[in-house]
Amino acid sequence: MIAIIDYGAGNIQSVNKALKYIGCEAFITRDKEQILQADGAVLPGVGSFGDTMDTMNSYGIKDTVIDFINSKKPFLGICLGLQLLFPKSEESPDAKGLGIFDGTISKISSGDGLKIPHIGWNSLEIKKNDGLFKGIDKNPYVYFVHSYFLNAADKNIVSAQTKYGVTIDAAIEKDNVFATQFHPEKSGETGLKILKNFADIVKG
């Protein structure tokens, strides 16, 4: 059973529908005990870094997420859910993230006529052909919606990158923690395969 962590993000239902479409048992909750008892957890993300951390703190979800990650059970962050794993973001300089990993979250430059936010399909350069990307083509196209991007301090955790004016660390993986800057639930068959890989990791 996978807990989809609810802090009011707009794309929670689409994640839930995608997981159920691939035959995965999932439920939406913000209850601490339900989250910690789940076999796996997903932290979706739509919104600003600071507002989301404020909401997570007000619901007591921040500590619950950290406790879940420390339990070593599989965890997946999506879009803002990836950025929140880091200490802070240029978007909300005074807000403190979860601090699970080290790196910078910076705004994508609008130089060279690039449209911000970055919305649409981009190809990935996969760095790790296991975990989330097991059985995935080397340069799949996936769907992005974001204005800020990760530059991870430890490149060993980066499982995929993309380019949009800059090199973006588009997915990370270390031990039981996985995260994607793109939206697998909106990335067609490739995204469903990525979610299926996560569900298989949860099943062990």
pLDDT tens-digit map of 132-175 = 999 998 899 999 999 999 999 999 999 999 999 999 999 999 99
3-state secondary structure of 123: strand
* pLDDT in the model for residue 93: 95
Cis peptide before 44 (omega within 30 of 0): no
CB-based burial label for 77 (10 Å; 0-12, 13-18, 19+): buried
Contact at 8 Å (CB) between 173 and 85? no
CA distances from 157 to 20, 32, 169, 178 (A): 28, 28, 10, 9
How high is the pLDDT of residue 138? 86
Percent of the chain with pLDDT over 70: 99
The chain-wide mean pLDDT, for the chain, equals 95
Summarize pLDDT for 8-52 with one digit per residue, the tens. 766 799 999 999 999 999 999 999 999 999 999 999 988 899 999
157 burial level (CB within 10 Å; 0-12, 13-18, 19+) = buried
Tell me the per-residue pLDDT of 93-121, one tens digit each, with 9 for 90 and over. 999 999 999 999 999 998 778 999 999 99
Beta strand ranges found along 75-116 (DSSP E): 75-78, 103-107
> How far, CA to CA in Å, does 136 sit from each of 116, 131, 176?
28, 10, 20
DSSP code of residue 83: H
Domains and their CATH numbers in the chain: 2-203 (3.40.50.880)
Q: Which residues are catalytic?
A: 79, 183, 185
**Pair of tokens at residue 170:** 């588009």
- Give me the pLDDT at residue 202, please: 97
What is the sign of the dihedral through the CA atoms of 6, 183, 98 and 165?
negative
Confirm if 85 and 41 have CB atoms less than 8 A apart. no
**Mean pLDDT (whole number) for 174-190:** 97
Length of the chain: 204
